[in-house]
Structure 1
Amino acid sequence: FSFMWYRINITFPETVDGHPVKGVRVQFETCIDDYGEIWIDGECDRDRGVIQGFNVPQRVLITADATPGEQHTIALLAANGPLAAPGGTVFCRYANLAFEWTGV
């Protein structure tokens, strides 16, 4: 069966598109085919970050109060299914950070 782990270390910048990052809510969003888990700093969000896939978007909170320079490790586990007899390949359609400003 086919599976992949993908890991990246991120550091929040001072600004994104001219907007300050300090204090904003930041989420990680991805779309995995067929099964996917999202791990943030070694923890899996078992409420919103697991047992998704087959092109279903997943969004997991990284922080509700970002600080510039703050670092996080994001890991994705993706597996092709069905696990007993997978067909095709496993892939991550996209992976984004969503910075959420209020009143912008």
Structure 2
Amino acid sequence: MMMKNSFELIYDVVRRIPYGKVATYGQIAMLAGNPHWSRVVGYALHVNPDPEHIPCFRVVNRYGEPSSAFAFGGVNEQITLLQNEGVEFIDGRVDLSKYLWDGR
């Protein structure tokens, strides 16, 4: 059996983020098996091969802020996609106490 590479592990986790929820880069790194992968998560999402099925727009930073380098239409597109799922922004941030995925 072949081992999955880090990007595949990251994509597997991101696919599980439910509609209307967000996850942080650090949370994805932990769930993918390496808490030191926060930057790797960012790289992986930036080159996401299948944005239709790997909802990278649901990943925000630890403060609930969208990515300034969102690769699929810019930061405003990421905000729009999240708002379309009912995620609210206050002062440019997602309320993580309300919208953070529990990882299950």
The TM-score with structure 2 as length reference comes to 0.27
Higher strand residue share: 1
Higher helix residue share: 2
Q: Which structure has the larger Rg over C-alpha atoms?
A: 1
Which of 1 and 2 has higher RCO (CA within 8 Å, sep 6+)? 1
The TM-score with structure 1 as length reference comes to 0.27
